Amino acid sequence: ETGVTQTPRHLVMGMTNKKSLKCEQHLGHNAMYWYKQSAKKPLELMFVYNFKEQTENNSVPSRFSPECPNSSHLFLHLHTLQPEDSALYLCASSAGLAGSYEQYFGPGTRLTVT
Amino acid sequence: GQQLNQSPQSMFIQEGEDVSMNCTSSSIFNTWLWYKQDPGEGPVLLIALYKAGELTSNGRLTAQFGITRKDSFLNISASIPSDVGIYFCAGSTDSWGKFQFGAGTQVVVTP
């Protein structure tokens, strides 16, 4: 695998379900990001991790819970979501404090909440 | 909060034409990035800009970091069908790599 991978690519879940999104970067980066992309809106930054430490939580509702066990992996745990949470969830990584801030994105997970 | 305005929202052009789009901010940025996103995929980094006045090319793409540090421009020369997609700008002011993104410019190329 190269670059940034995300699984699953598509997810349909009910409002009472619990699911997790997974992101893995193979670029040796130290910073990882979660974004939400809704139709016709700019990308919304959700969380930032630098060296496994959360450095940004952009006022995200607690039904989204991130986890970063190491610099290569990032998870987004989902529970009791709302239909308006349906969107494309993108993961990105960058060298961060150790280098440039150019962010490289994964293909995204298309989430539909029913 | 910071506002990042990207224009135009969409463009319908003929193959072979040049394309120009821009982003403006209410704040000064230290870094500008330009991305392209195809349907069902994540954004792909095209060009990164780090200095005011910087002009950088990537094939038929050329981007500039505005002198005021509040704007950036992307040009695509001699467009081809595979240039179809949504182009995003992103700007950052801080050292944590936190970027603001534009809403995107949708480019449609007709033969």
State pLDDT tens for residues A51-109: 888 888 889 999 999 999 999 999 999 999 999 999 999 999 998 766 678 999 999 99
DSSP at A85: G
Q: How far apart are CA B85 and CA B28, in angstroms?
A: 28
User: CB under 8 Å to A88, separation ≥6 — which residues?
Assistant: A36, A37, A38, A108, A109, A110, A111
- Give contacts of A 5-24 with B, CB under 8 A: 6
The string of DSSP letters for A13-65 reads: E-TT-EEEEEEEE-S--SEEEEEEE-TTS--EEEEEEETTEEEEE-S--TTEE
DSSP at B78: S
Q: Mean pLDDT, to the nearest integer, of B75-95? A: 92
pLDDT at B105 over 80: yes
Please check whether residue A3 touches B, CB under 8 A: no
Q: Mean pLDDT, to the nearest integer, of B36-53? A: 94
Q: Which two tokens stand for residue B43?
A: 């954004």
Please check whether residue A90 touches B, CB under 8 A: yes
Please check whether residue B111 touches A, CB under 8 A: no
Chain A contact probe: residue of B10, B101, B105 with most A CBs at under 10 A: B101
A-to-B residue pairs, Cβ atoms closer than 8 angstroms: 62
Residue B94 — very low, low, confident or very high, per pLDDT cuts 50/70/90?
Answer: confident
Q: How far apart are CA B85 and CA B62, in angstroms?
A: 17
* A18, A46, A53, B32, B39 from A64: Cα distances, Å: 10, 9, 17, 29, 25
Q: Mean pLDDT, to the nearest integer, of B9-31? A: 95
Residue B40 — very low, low, confident or very high, per pLDDT cuts 50/70/90?
Answer: confident
Helix (H) or strand (E) holding A95: none
pLDDT at A50 over 80: yes
Q: Higher-confidence residue: B43 or A98?
A: B43
pLDDT at B1 over 60: no
pLDDT of residue A51: 87
Q: Under a CB-based contact definition with an 8 Å cutoff, are residues A88 and A37 in contact?
A: yes
- Give contacts of B 8-67 with A, CB under 8 A: 31, 33, 35, 40-45, 48
